[in-house]
Structure 1
């Protein structure tokens, strides 16, 4: 040691470590009109983080033709609920999911041809003379672009080779075919040759890409397929080997056209996970149909935001942005509280128009009623456990490979207990604590580098039933004689 003479300072790591926030962000899989994307390369099987409606439309395009399922979510989440952010993943590949329209005569009106259909791939357009003998050149003879409706406009350029007196031209093109996107595309997989991940496999890329832990997994328009729902739930249960999310899924409203049939369909098709919310029927707003899972994600996001991002509040009895509930064919559905309670009692979230407008109605996850454990069967409790577990992983990761010493155990328990005390003071949990117990940490395990901590926590259960007992009390008859 070198000789020292004077006053010297050194530092030790803080005994209290601030927690790392666990954002509860929806990850949504579906199809988009990527022919309208403003990106040089439209996103296909690429997670895109969007904070605004404009960002989503810039990346994926937008169409009021909701054969493109991401458009439904973009409109609901950003426009109706004003919620953000969301991570969107389009699985429609314009190189694969397309059809070819042979050249046919189109009228020129005021120097422009309008192709009145969605999904036209601009780069595929072929413009010919009406007899088919001459093929014209984009940029020289005409320009092509899209109008606000997503229709392609072909404008004849003066000075080009298209005769000025032409009234018709032949136009051929490829167009997107969202109907060819199958459940298998949503499920995705890993290409053996390239290692490229597609579909739901991409959920493991979310945290490495954005440092955001997925909070909800959705696939509106596809989650009524039991295979898709099963994979969604499986992926939500084990993200990157460390995190958990909750899958929002729908019961089909074309084949299940009576609410009393929904519970049997749910059980028969195994929509029974504690990490799954099961929704029925669909919603409407302004003449458009929404999957209930789509709007439930908006309700959850807005509700969470009102409590500092902590998901302790149930989405039940909070407003949808809806003016009706319907089946696939547009048949209106009006459930009374007793009928809605029947669905709730079978682990299904529904829509109720009783007091205060159309609201989400139901607190139970898909596991109910076969499992009544409050940790798993209540939506807010299950989400709180996910939130707490994910936050612990994010916060304590920095201690991995640190020496197991008394200070190590004290730093972890002290930091997490301080955080849990804060959640208790704010009313987000009834109480919680972390302990490092000798009985959990044998000499063999400790020597092998294993440290175990016990976490005890109690989120408040939602008040699903409030009872008043009303009794006739004759003692108040005395008020008559007293008067």
Structure 2
């Protein structure tokens, strides 16, 4: 052993742990996409696919303006074309190996060495081509590719096939075969694969991203699917919580006055849900309002340091009108919008431009608890908890000593003070109390903190009391002081 004489320095690891952001507004969207337009259609089936821009969306999922058939496309449009917000995570359930129809023989004319099959959804690799006298070979006799409309163009490579006609057979994807069960999905024990909404459990393990918003425009107006979406929102991977955005079926609800009863009868009453009515238009495109609302939520978060403390209500919604499912225009004024808001329904109104209107989750008016009633506060609770889990997960299994407890308490209180200083929260404080941690729990490796938080409620109702003051009038007329 060396003999110590003098002074020395040692260093300990920093006790304050920097927080990990949870990307509060990342949309996880379940539906159908024209994957036949992609290079490898099977690669985008029942897998969480992260998308950062429009080009990626088209390459990885395909795109078609027929949003009734391909429901994911409207969220692609809303996120990248309307709000320009990223990333989004798409889960396509349309499986080319199951959801397809066969076209055995179809005659196609050749014009200037090109034959155009005017059918959408064709799977390129299933096409076979015959001339009147022989089977043609891909690569030497012809080439195939999609044109800008999604039709298949067959380019003939032989001079004797520059005119005339050919016979083609092929398979094409059929979105009408996708059912509610495909969207709901499940887990196959034998193959170890996830399908439909169950794929949400694969988002964090595969992408290391916590789902922020879960939606399925074009499907979430079906009560059985709405219920499953809401269930999948909570305790994701047994740890995280998200928020979901649902629609009311405007093919059944023709009047805004009937929307609250439909919502109640179909149990769209969760604190974790934002429920939307009716649909919306931009030009000749009709969107489920959930697609635009979720994109607006994500956009609003991005404008506020990725902290979901600001309500999406009264934020600009770049639409040209609101409609029912049959295309009938529905113009709601503020009192009518307020009527829906009072039943926990978010809508859109036109006051100096279109804007989203409504702060309440679907739990209102059944609950008046502030943490479950207001959309931004409910989302803040989810985000705060998710961030805590991510930040301190590496502390799990560390020795239960004072250093561990002190590092968490100090880090959280400093983090909270930062958010408070920026005006993003009213305040938060965390404590480790002896009464919450009996010896039996400590011996079993369990410790508990209590954290009290306060988030700002939206200024939903502003009142200015006007009063006529005769003194001001006389001063103005007679020069009084």
Report the TM-score, using the length of structure 1 for normalisation: 0.95
Q: Distance between the aligned counterparts of 1:480 and 1:51, measured in 2?
A: 61
Aligned to 1:34: 35
Partner of residue 184 from structure 1, selected from 181, 194, 206: 181
Q: Distance between the aligned counterparts of 2:71 and 2:195, measured in 1?
A: 17
Are 1:458 and 2:454 an aligned pair?
Answer: yes
Aligned to 1:121: 123
Q: Following TM superposition, by how much is the alpha carbon of 1:473 offset from its aligned partner in structure 2, in angstroms? A: 2.8
Q: Following TM superposition, by how much is the alpha carbon of 1:3 offset from its aligned partner in structure 2, in angstroms? A: 5.5
Q: Distance between the aligned counterparts of 1:444 and 1:264, measured in 2?
A: 50
Partner of 2:322: helix, strand, or coil? strand
Q: Residue by residue, what CA displacement relative to the aligned partner does 1:85-117 show, whole Å, maximum 9, x if unpaired?
A: 011111100011111123122221222111112
Q: Distance between the aligned counterparts of 1:415 and 1:274, measured in 2?
A: 30
Partner of residue 271 from structure 1, selected from 268, 286, 300: 268
Q: 1:6 to 1:148 in 2, by over 3 A?
A: farther
Map 1:78-117 → 2, pairs under 5 A: 78-117=80-119
Q: Distance between the aligned counterparts of 1:419 and 1:213, measured in 2?
A: 20
CA RMSD of aligned residues (A): 1.6
Q: Distance between the aligned counterparts of 1:182 and 1:145, measured in 2?
A: 29
Partner of residue 417 from structure 2, selected from 415, 421, 428: 421
Check conservation: 1:31, 1:69, Cα contact below 8 A.
yes
Check conservation: 2:214, 2:245, Cα contact below 8 A.
yes
Check conservation: 1:97, 1:177, Cα contact below 8 A.
yes
Aligned to 1:55: 56
Q: Distance between the aligned counterparts of 2:27 and 2:268, measured in 1?
A: 20
Q: Distance between the aligned counterparts of 2:312 and 2:323, measured in 1?
A: 20
Partner of 2:106: helix, strand, or coil? strand
Are 1:169 and 2:166 an aligned pair?
Answer: yes
Check conservation: 2:23, 2:210, Cα contact below 8 A.
yes
Partner of residue 193 from structure 2, selected from 179, 191, 196: 196
Q: Distance between the aligned counterparts of 1:446 and 1:165, measured in 2?
A: 83
Check conservation: 1:103, 1:126, Cα contact below 8 A.
no
Q: 1:450 to 1:136 in 2, by over 3 A?
A: same
Between 1:437-446 and 1:383-392, the stretch displaced more is 437-446
Q: 1:477 to 1:241 in 2, by over 3 A?
A: same
Q: Distance between the aligned counterparts of 1:389 and 1:236, measured in 2?
A: 14
Report the TM-score, using the length of structure 2 for normalisation: 0.96
Q: Following TM superposition, by how much is the alpha carbon of 1:41 offset from its aligned partner in structure 2, in angstroms? A: 4.7
Q: Distance between the aligned counterparts of 2:442 and 2:32, measured in 1?
A: 50
Aligned to 1:208: 205
Q: Distance between the aligned counterparts of 1:436 and 1:65, measured in 2?
A: 56
Q: Residue by residue, what CA displacement relative to the aligned partner does 1:377-434 show, whole Å, maximum 9, x if unpaired?
A: 1000001111111111111112111222222221111000000011100111111110
Aligned to 2:156: 156
Check conservation: 2:42, 2:95, Cα contact below 8 A.
no
Q: Following TM superposition, by how much is the alpha carbon of 1:142 offset from its aligned partner in structure 2, in angstroms? A: 1.3
Aligned to 2:326: 329
Are 1:282 and 2:279 an aligned pair?
Answer: yes
Partner of 2:281: helix, strand, or coil? strand
Q: Distance between the aligned counterparts of 2:58 and 2:162, measured in 1?
A: 38
Q: Following TM superposition, by how much is the alpha carbon of 1:126 offset from its aligned partner in structure 2, in angstroms? A: 2.2
Are 1:467 and 2:468 an aligned pair?
Answer: no
Partner of 1:396: helix, strand, or coil? helix
Q: Residue by residue, what CA displacement relative to the aligned partner does 1:177-199 show, whole Å, maximum 9, x if unpaired?
A: 11111111111101121121111
Partner of residue 478 from structure 1, selected from 465, 469, 474: 474
Map 1:202-351 → 2, pairs under 5 A: 202-351=199-348
Aligned residues: 477
Q: Distance between the aligned counterparts of 2:180 and 2:411, measured in 1?
A: 44
Aligned to 2:44: 43
Q: Residue by residue, what CA displacement relative to the aligned partner does 1:245-291 show, whole Å, maximum 9, x if unpaired?
A: 00111111111121111111111111111111101111111211111
Aligned to 2:23: 23
Partner of 2:377: helix, strand, or coil? helix
Q: Following TM superposition, by how much is the alpha carbon of 1:229 offset from its aligned partner in structure 2, in angstroms? A: 1.2
